[in-house]
Each structure stands twice: as structure tokens, then as C-alpha cells.
Amino acid sequence: MKNLKDLVKIRAEIRKKEPLIHAITNPIAINMVANSILFVGAKPICAEHPQEMEDITPKADALSINLGNINQSRMEAMDRASFFASKKGLPIIIDLVGIGASRLRLNVAKNLLDKYKFSLLKGNASEIIALAKGASSAKGVDVGKDDEDKSLEYVIKTCQDLSKKYQAAVLLTGKIDILVKDNKYYLIENGCPELSNITATGCMLTGLISAFIAVTDVINASLLAMLIMEIGAEMSDKDKPYSFFVDLMDKIGTISDEIIIDHAKIKEGEI
């Protein structure tokens, strides 16, 4: 069983080290991602001009790339940033936003995954299924009903196949989050349905994971980021959508270690 007391100690570590995180994300999410990274104690840089990747990426401590709202320039930037991050041995994570809705995004994702080594592949059920099977029931950037209703066994196996293929951890988010690496899996049952009523909460989670992965391994980084975000959401005022959003952002920076430890719902298993 994960030692939660050790897990939350990573929060002090990140505040001490203040790692620099290069996050190439989408314009819908960019402010939320940059602020989430700042609120947990790291420093974001969201540079995206292809010609400055050579200067920016190698000076960072981790790279995250996000396929939401892709355009030609960001496509080139993501490839170049992944190249320079790989050369430097930095952890890289990819958020597969919208690959179930667009063949372009699916091909971009496959190309990057074939060329570079990623620490984490992340998406909702439709995005993970699209990558593994080539098709999904995605509703734009959101999960489709058919994919959402797939059995736990089916989605765990799908994540495991991808984890083995790409030698990376795989995170499928939703009501229950599934984190898989090789033969081990974690189920995280925190969060609340209101999280899907705000745009880009998945992108925000990616930002948080990319902050923590600069100071710890991919499993600890993913688990801690999910607990902060999802228990933070459980503790937030749900009366009005925008107040919920503001409260959630505050909770990311201020939620206590004790509340995280008391409310965490993590199960572990072997496949």
C-alpha cells in the first residue's frame, strides 16, 4: 500500500526546489495550467514558438505537451521540445486531448510516441481507447458514452497494452481514474462529477503531474496530483459553477496534508 505520509512530503520538496516546467498546452487551458503549476510551488513556462524550443526546453526540469487545439506551429513546437527534452533525459508527459475526435491529432500522437520516450500517456477513456484501438466514441474532447461504460477489466487491460507498447505509465481519467504501469495498477476514486462541468480540468491535472514529475517518479507524481486536485474539488463549494472553479484553484494551493491523507481513496492491484 502507498505510504500517504511519504507521498505528501513531496509537496515540501517541490516548494524547496521550485522546478521549471515547460508546458505546451492549449489556449483554452493555458492560464489554469500555469497557475496550477505555480500554486504547488513550481515555475511554469508555456513557450510554444518552434524556434525557441532549443533554448527553453533543456533548461526545464520536465516537459508536458497537450494536443488540445493543435495547430501547425504547436505541432512543430511539441516535436522539437520532445527532441530536446529527450536529449537531456527530462521526463515528458503527453495529454492526448481530442485524439478520439481527430485523425490529425491521433497521427501526431502516434508519431511522437514512436519517436520519443514518454514517462506518462494520459487521456480520458475515449482518448486511451482511440490510441489503443484506432477508433472511439469520443464526443469532441469529452469521453463518449460507449467508452465511459466499458468494464473496468477492459479499460485496465487497454491501459496495460499501451503501457507495455510504449514503455510508459498510462493514466485514464474519469469517475474512477486508472493508473497503470507494467503489471501494476492503481484506482483513484476521488473527485466529483462537477469537475467535468468546467473546461480543461484534465489539462490542469496534466500541469500538476508535470510539476511533481520534476521531483519524483511518475507514479508518485500522478497519484499526488490527482489527490490534490480531486480532494480539493470534493472540498470546494459546488453551488455555482464559476465559484466552484475559483474555490478549486484556491484549494490546489492551500489544501492540507492531513485532509489529503484522510480523504484519499486509492486501491492497488496486479494484473
Ligand X SMILES: Nc1ncnc2c1ncn2[C@@H]1O[C@H](COP(=O)(O)OP(=O)(O)OP(=O)(O)O)[C@@H](O)[C@H]1O
Contacting positions for ligand TZE (CB under 6 A): 26, 28-29, 68-69, 97-98, 141, 199-200, 202-203
Helix, strand or coil for residue 161?
helix
- 45 CB-contact burial (10 Å; exposed 0-12 / middle 13-18 / buried 19+): middle
Residue 200, annotated as binding a ligand: yes
Q: How many CB atoms lie within 10 A of CB 165?
A: 13
Residue selected from 77, 162, 195, 211 as contacting ligand X according to rule CB under 6 A: 195
Task: Locate 168 and state its grid cell.
Answer: 510508459
80 or 236: whose CB is closer to ligand X?
236
205 is in the binding site of which of ligand TZE, ligand X, none (Cβ under 5 to 8 A by kind)? ligand X
Contact 90, 50 (CB under 8 A): no
CA distance 100 to 129: 8
205 binds ligand X (CB under 6 A): yes
Dihedral sign of CA atoms 120, 141, 177, 257 in order: positive
97 binds ligand X (CB under 6 A): yes
Residue 173, annotated as binding a ligand: yes
Residue selected from 184, 199, 220, 238 as contacting ligand X according to rule CB under 6 A: 199
- Point out the residue whose Cβ comes nearest to ligand TZE: 68
Q: Site map for ligand X, 141-180, x if CB under 6 A?
A: xxx-----------------------------xxx-x---
Q: At what angle do helices 241-254 and 218-234 cross, to 10 degrees?
A: 130
220 is in the binding site of which of ligand X, ligand TZE, none (Cβ under 5 to 8 A by kind)? none
Q: In which residue are the cell numbers 483554452 written?
A: 28
CB of 87 to ligand X, least distance (A): 29
